[in-house]
């Protein structure tokens, strides 16, 4: 029987069933240059915004094409308008709109070339507060979960985005600075190399609904997974979650976008289908415009998680310590190693990213809330 098992095991090794290979398309797509609008109208004390971009060729590696020079307004049905202006920092049109729950709003856009676009009027929905945000150590990493409840049972569809900030630290605290220009070591407490901060935004579409539940309560709804050994939890982590109630149409739109672009590729997944949003070109109704503008109050909540709160996170930097001889500094620093102490005939050094956290994508801008 053991023999049979061995044979079968060998067979499995030999037979390579089912595999995924990278695939690059060679489609000469004509430049579609479709206007893409991602917008959210919120309450009067949070920012309403619209990202205006253009679609590009799949193989296009250049920067995001932003639709500059447009006039963007939040409008209600009585002609009341609030302008959204372009923010270089957030790369979007944004502003405060003095809106009221229950009224209908839309976003109106006049692009630089004079074309006018508008989203469908949608009712500004109230969004319930975010309840507890929990985390659970699971096999794959750390699962972040949230709770929310709308006692009025009006908000049934939810959409979340988040911003993450986390601290990272180097493996070695350096007391010297390598002056590359002069190839010399300068005594300095290099806290800028030791304490760093990183941040990122949600990149996947996070949705939830109570429509299929017999209560208006979402319990422990998983919205994020931090993979094992990720540096997010190496020291301290913080996440700001923004919660928006969605209209059914807005929810369906994002859900289809998610299916089309994120959960695809297993044997039985549905084929991609066309996305139809709620934006039209007023001058030319046949022009293809992609995107959806929804209207609801934004609710947000921030939590912090320390490394100590998570069991066995096992974040490790594989550092190679090395004693660099004085005559080889120019060769090794800073491309391979960085010094962390002055030393004597040799300089105690280690792999550069273990000494300077900025080489790991960190920066020294400590967030205000830290």
- Contact in structure between 234 and 228 (CB atoms under 8 Å): no
Query: Contact, 60 vs 37, CB < 8 A?
Result: no
Q: Which residues contact 82 (CB under 8 A, 6 or more apart)?
A: 48, 73, 74, 75, 95, 96, 97, 98, 99
CB of 52 to other proteins, least distance (A): 10
Within 10 angstroms of residue 36's Cβ, the number of other Cβ atoms is 16
User: How far is it, in rounded angstroms, from Cα 40 to Cα 278?
Assistant: 12
Is residue 121 exposed (0-12), middle (13-18) or buried (19+ Cβ within 10 Å)? middle
Phi, psi (degrees; rounded to nearest 5) at 224: -160, 145
357 phi, psi to nearest 5 deg? -70, -15
With respect to other proteins, which residue has the nearer C-beta, 107 or 324?
Answer: 107
Residue with smaller CB distance to other proteins, 103 or 252: 252
| Nearest-approach distance from CB 48 to other proteins, in angstroms | 16
Asked if 234 and 315 touch (Cβ cutoff 8 Å), the reply is yes
Which C-beta is closer to other proteins: that of 18 or that of 344? 18
Rounded to a whole number of angstroms, the minimum distance from the CB of residue 54 to other proteins is 8
Question: How near is the Cβ of 325 to other proteins at its closest, in Å?
Answer: 41
Shortest approach of other proteins to residue 305 CB, angstroms?
Answer: 20
Main-chain dihedrals φ then ψ at residue 157, nearest 5 degrees? -120, 140
For other proteins, the closer of residues 57 and 71 by Cβ is 57
Pick 182 or 203: Cβ nearer other proteins: 203
How many other CB atoms are found less than 10 A from the CB of residue 57?
Answer: 14
- CB 155, min distance to other proteins, A: 16
Q: How far apart are CA 352 and CA 319, in angstroms?
A: 9
Find the shortest distance in angstroms from Cβ 236 to other proteins. 22
Nearer to other proteins, 26 or 78 (CB): 26
CA separation for the pair 152, 104 (Å, rounded)? 20
For other proteins, give the closer residue by CB, 200 or 364. 200
């Amino acid at each position: 029987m053991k023999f049979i098992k061995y044979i079968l095991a060998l067979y499995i090794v030999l037979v390579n069933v089912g595999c995924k290979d990278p695939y690059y398309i060679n489609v000469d797509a004509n430049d579609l240059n479709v206007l893409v609008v991602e917008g959210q109208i919120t309450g009067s004390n949070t920012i309403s915004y619209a990202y205006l971009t253009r679609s590009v060729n799949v193989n296009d590696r250049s920067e995001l094409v932003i639709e500059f020079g447009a006039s963007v307004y939040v409008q209600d049905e009585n002609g009341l308008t609030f302008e959204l202006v372009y923010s270089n920092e957030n790369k979007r049109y944004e502003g405060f709109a003095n809106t009221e729950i229950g009224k209908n709003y839309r976003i109106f856009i006049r692009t630089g070339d004079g074309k006018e676009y508008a989203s469908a009027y949608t009712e500004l929905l109230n969004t319930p507060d975010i309840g507890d945000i929990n985390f659970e150590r699971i096999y794959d990493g750390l699962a972040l979960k949230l709770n929310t409840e709308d006692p009025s049972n009006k908000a049934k569809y939810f959409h979340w985005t988040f911003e993450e900030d986390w601290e990272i630290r180097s493996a070695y605290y350096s007391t010297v600075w390598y002056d590359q220009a002069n190839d010399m070591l300068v005594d300095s407490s290099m806290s800028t190399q030791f304490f760093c901060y990183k941040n990122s935004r949600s990149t996947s579409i996070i949705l939830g609904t109570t429509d299929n539940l017999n209560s208006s309560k979402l319990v422990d709804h998983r919205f994020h997974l931090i993979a094992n050994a990720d540096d997010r939890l190496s020291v301290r982590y913080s996440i700001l979650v923004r919660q928006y109630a969605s209209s059914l149409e807005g929810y369906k739109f994002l859900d289809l976008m998610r299916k089309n672009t994120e959960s695809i590729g297993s044997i039985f997944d549905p084929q991609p289908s066309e996305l139809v949003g709620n934006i039209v070109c007023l001058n030319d109704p046949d022009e293809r415009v992609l995107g959806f503008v929804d209207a609801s109050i934004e609710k947000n909540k921030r939590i912090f998680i320390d490394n100590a709160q998570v069991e066995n996170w096992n974040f490790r930097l594989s550092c190679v310590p090395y004693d660099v001889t004085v005559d080889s500094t120019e060769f090794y620093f800073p491309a391979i190693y960085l010094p962390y102490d002055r030393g004597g005939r040799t300089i105690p050094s280690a792999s550069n990213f273990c000494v300077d956290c900025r080489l790991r994508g960190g920066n020294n801008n400590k967030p205000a809330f830290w």
